Amino acid sequence: CSGKALRGITKPPWRMDDYLPISLLNDFTFCPYSIYLHQVYMETDEGLYKALPQTRGTLAHEAVDRRTYSSRKDVLASLTVCSHTLRLTGQIDLYRQDSRTLVERKYHIRELYRGQVYQLWAQYFCMTEMGYGVDHLAFHATASNRTIPVALPQEAERKELEALIEKIRTFDPGKATAAGRNKCLHCIYCNLCDKTTEENVYV
């Protein structure tokens, strides 16, 4: 991990190839089988499955990923983070050092889904484990310039996140079923999925 030295960890009892990407938390919550399909198709042409919402999401993150979102020295963008206790790794969007606020950017937010909140919680635990002080969490919708604050996770939320991570680690794609018609209709992998005969709304 980049960033500050980890506190309270003196030995490296971990293997980085055993760490889950933080992005899987939202994908798994939406549909567990989608993380399997992502692994299958990740090396293919994104045009086979990527839909308009994902393209817009990529554009929303573009300035952050290129680190051109802000020239202010108190704003950290696209920082790689990890947690050795949760065995997670990923990137944050923005961390405002002056207000100690961690921000996840989206193109459009109609409502917040649990999987999105799990991702922000995971980023929070990574940041705090790395020694950063985080007092506030928020989502920011670039299309409407709307900011939505999120409460800091407590012990109960950490246990909920740990339970989700364990489900991901023990997931058997051979036993998976379709997530449900509404989710399938809005899944970018729907037309490539062997668990449903639905076609997604992006066709």
pLDDT, tens digit, 9 for 90 and up, residues 65-110:
555 555 567 899 999 999 999 999 999 999 999 999 999 999 999 8
pLDDT given at position 201 = 60
> Do residues 98 and 134 lie in contact, with contact meaning Cβ atoms separated by under 8 Å?
no
- The DSSP secondary-structure symbol of 76 reads E
pLDDT given at position 175 = 85
**Residue 167 is encoded by which pair of tokens?**
């489900």
pLDDT given at position 10 = 41
Give the closest residue to 34 by CA, choosing from 189, 182, 165, 186. Answer: 189
> Do residues 33 and 193 lie in contact, with contact meaning Cβ atoms separated by under 8 Å?
yes
Segments of the chain with pLDDT less than 50: 2-14, 44-45, 48-50, 52, 54-55, 57, 59-60, 64
pLDDT given at position 3 = 46
User: Cα dist. 90→112, 154, 190, 200 in Å?
Assistant: 20, 21, 26, 28
pLDDT given at position 184 = 73
Give the closest residue to 19 by CA, choosing from 195, 120, 169. Answer: 169
- Reduced to 3 states (helix: H, G, I; strand: E, B; else coil), residue 155 is helix
pLDDT given at position 200 = 64
pLDDT given at position 5 = 42
pLDDT given at position 135 = 98
Largest CA distance in the chain: 52
Q: Which pTM value belongs to this model?
A: 0.76
pLDDT given at position 31 = 85
**Residue 113 is encoded by which pair of tokens?**
């889904």
